[in-house]
């Protein structure tokens, strides 16, 4: 089905971006939720705007306990239905038996293999019934995200609509929104974490480092994507 990507004025609000993207998708749209500050803000914005936005999450098998706590808090506050997706157990068993538990730190190829098994393949299943998906990505986050668009066509996932409603928000703006509305916050953010993924691949950042410096910290900045948002 062919749809037109709507134009966006520079001052378009996240709620307006979400509404325009959902209308352009002409079918079911869900937020890919990692329970980050951005994702929590989007859930609240969509709820307040009365938008029909689903939520799905990928449990890689290596998430922090604190991440699950946020999921439970959101369930209680918004009465959400979260659709959980998991890696195929046979793929996890194979790579761990053949290469060990920390092969992803040995090479970029191995790390991409781990992300493909634990994140990318489950994502492909999560997106199959959808006409659009929403992310919490922002241009400011890293060098790999500077050319994001608010609403774009995701050709790598069947041409469905991809919506990035917080594209222009700064980290401080996200933090301000979350605290102003007293939203659930991952406790790791109070311990120096600024971007949270799998436990073995995430650490707190040092003063002056960018928000994603704690993700795969042993790699170069231009490589710091897991494959969910290939461009």
163: number of Cβ within 10 Å: 28
Q: Which structural domain range is residue 162 located in?
A: 14-222
pLDDT in tens, 17-67: 999 999 999 999 999 999 999 999 999 999 999 999 999 999 999 999 999
- Indicate whether 137 belongs to any domain: yes
Looking at the chain, the whole-number percentage of residues with pLDDT higher than 70 is: 89
114 vs 8, residue with greater confidence: 114
Helix, strand or coil, per DSSP, at residue 113? helix
Instruction: Establish if 202 belongs to a structural domain.
Output: yes
Is 6 part of a structural domain of the chain? no
Task: Supply the CATH number for residue 176's domain.
Answer: 3.40.50.620
Q: Is residue 231 part of a domain?
A: no
In a domain, 210, yes or no: yes
Total domains in the chain come to 1
The tokens of 49 are what?
């705007």
Q: Domain for residue 227, yes or no?
A: no
Could you tell me which residues are beta bridge partners of residue 134?
A: 31, 163
What positions carry a catalytic annotation?
226
Q: Is residue 68 part of a domain?
A: yes
The half-sphere exposure of 40 on its side-chain side, counting CA atoms within 13 A, is 26
Average pLDDT over residues 158-182: 95
Please write the tens of the pLDDT for every residue from 92-127. Answer: 999 999 999 999 999 999 999 999 999 999 999 999
Would you say the pTM of this structure is higher than 0.85? yes
- Non-local CB neighbours of 13 within 8 Å, separated by 6+ positions: none
Dist CA 126 CA 28 (whole Å) = 12
pLDDT for the residue numbered 123 = 97
Is residue 7 situated within a structural domain?
no
Length of the chain equals 231
- Percent pLDDT > 90 in the chain is 77
CA distances from 149 to 7, 9, 162, 172 (A): 10, 12, 9, 20
Q: Sorting pLDDT into bands at 50, 70 and 90, what band is 226? A: low
Please report the DSSP string for 64-75 in residue order.
Answer: -HHHHHHHHHHH
Please state the φ and ψ torsions of residue 24, each to the nearest 5 degrees: -70, -35
142 pLDDT exceeds 80? no
């Amino acid at each position: 089905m062919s749809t037109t990507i709507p134009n966006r004025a520079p001052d378009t609000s996240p709620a307006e971006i979400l509404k325009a993207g959902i209308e352009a998708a002409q079918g079911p749209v869900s937020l890919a939720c990692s329970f980050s500050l951005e994702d929590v803000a989007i859930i609240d914005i969509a709820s307040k705007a009365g938008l029909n936005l689903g939520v799905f999450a990928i449990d890689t098998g290596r998430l922090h306990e604190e991440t699950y706590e946020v999921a439970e808090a959101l369930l209680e506050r918004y009465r959400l239905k979260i659709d959980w997706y998991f890696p195929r157990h046979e793929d996890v068993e194979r790579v761990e038996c053949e290469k060990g538990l920390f092969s992803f730190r040995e090479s970029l190829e191995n790390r991409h293999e781990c992300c493909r098994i634990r994140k990318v393949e489950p994502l492909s299943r999560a997106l199959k019934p959808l006409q659009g998906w929403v992310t919490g990505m922002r241009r400011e986050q890293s060098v790999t995200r500077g050319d994001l668009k608010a609403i774009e066509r995701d050709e790598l996932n069947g041409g469905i609509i991809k919506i990035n409603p917080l594209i222009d928000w700064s980290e401080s703006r996200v933090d301000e929104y979350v605290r102003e509305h007293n939203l659930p916050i991952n406790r790791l953010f109070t311990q120096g974490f600024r971007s949270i993924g799998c436990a073995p691949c995430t650490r707190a950042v040092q003063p002056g480092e960018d928000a994603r410096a704690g993700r795969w910290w042993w790699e170069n900045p231009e490589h710091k994507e897991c494959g969910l948002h290939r461009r």
